[in-house]
Amino acid sequence: MKATGRVSLVGAGPGDPELLTLKALRAIESAGAVVYDRLVADEIVRLIPAGVPRFYAGKSCKHKAMTQDEINDLLVKLAKLGHHVVRLKGGDSLLFGRGGEEALELVKHHIPFEIVPGITSAQGCASYAGIPLTHRGLATGVRYITGHRTADENAEIPLELNWDSLADPDTTLVVYMGLANLGVITQKLMEHGLPASTPAAAIQQGTTHEQRVLVASLDTLAVKVREAVFEAPTLLIIGKVVSLAAQLDWYMLQPADVDDFFSKNVMQL
């Protein structure tokens, strides 16, 4: 009988393949089988050595190539066949990635595993949009929340969040999976006291060559995002720190604009 293999739960980062950690790269290079999600960048999937079996788990909010139970079963089955299984997920596996549930399933089946952290999209998108998530005088903390909830596979449940505590002008709010409920989210935050003028941003496909950033205010974000036809994956950042993007937006800068950028920003400092 073959010895049981092991599973590496690996965060692949938000999109730019260069944001993969060395530990993640080494796990991919030594994989005997890979199970990967929709949000894993194609360039990263191409790092899987030729001939290594790969399984597309294809998770997104609405469409699932496999159910979570099927994914769990596949990980267990591949590991029991003796493989080093790499479970690749976008961002960090343990942030809105159900990595914890998969790890618990491995524990249940006595399968050894490791967890390799990835750069979560909040950090990747914020950095590539020039938005410090905390900043002296603007935000003393940051909260990551989900803007979409499902009871089980595909069954949506209403977004019941503690809006009073979320509407804190001194804390940056990062909303994952918030696009479909953007109107509700901004409305609730205003109803619970967050000023309508609070700067707010939507970032689509952050850290990739397709990155789009839209900066608005809390009361205009939903309309502007709809007009600009933003699509998943999109992350929302709400808070005073978003105002810094006007000065720190380095990634979208074209080489021809660099002189202009510095003269404008130095004048504002």
Ligand X SMILES: C[S@@+](CC[C@H](N)C(=O)[O-])C[C@H]1O[C@@H](n2cnc3c(N)ncnc32)[C@H](O)[C@@H]1O
Q: How far is the CB of 114 from ligand X (least distance, A)?
A: 17
96 lies in the binding site for ligand X (CB under 6 A)? yes
205 lies in the binding site for ligand X (CB under 6 A)? yes
- State which residue, 83 or 213, has the beta carbon closest to ligand X: 213
206 lies in the binding site for ligand X (CB under 6 A)? yes
102 lies in the binding site for ligand X (CB under 6 A)? no
17 lies in the binding site for ligand X (CB under 6 A)? no
128 lies in the binding site for ligand X (CB under 6 A)? no
SS3 labels along the chain? CCCCCEEEEEECECCCHHHCCHHHHHHHHCCCEEEECCCCCHHHHCCCCCCCCEEECCCCCCCCCCCHHHHHHHHHHHHHCCCEEEEEECECCCCCCCHHHHHHHHHHCCCCEEEECCCCHHHHHHHHCCCCCCECCCECEEEEEECCCEEECCEECCCCCCHHHHCCCCEEEEEECCCCCHHHHHHHHHHCCCCCCCEEEEEECCCCCCCEEEEEECCCHHHHHHHCCCCCCEEEEECHHHHHHHHHCCCCCCHHHHHHHHHHHHHHC
* Site residues (CB under 6 A) for ligand X, limited to 141-200: 176-177
* Site residues (CB under 6 A) for ligand X, limited to 29-58: 39
120 lies in the binding site for ligand X (CB under 6 A)? yes
24, 203, 238, 241: residue in contact with ligand X (rule CB under 6 A): 203
130 lies in the binding site for ligand X (CB under 6 A)? no
92 lies in the binding site for ligand X (CB under 6 A)? yes
> Would you please indicate which residues are annotated as catalytic (active-site) residues?
37, 59
90, 117, 130, 239: residue in contact with ligand X (rule CB under 6 A): 90
Q: How far is the CB of 149 from ligand X (least distance, A)?
A: 11
Q: How far is the CB of 60 from ligand X (least distance, A)?
A: 8
Q: Which residues bind ligand X (CB under 6 A)?
A: 14-15, 39, 89-92, 95-97, 120-121, 125, 176-177, 203, 205-207, 232-235
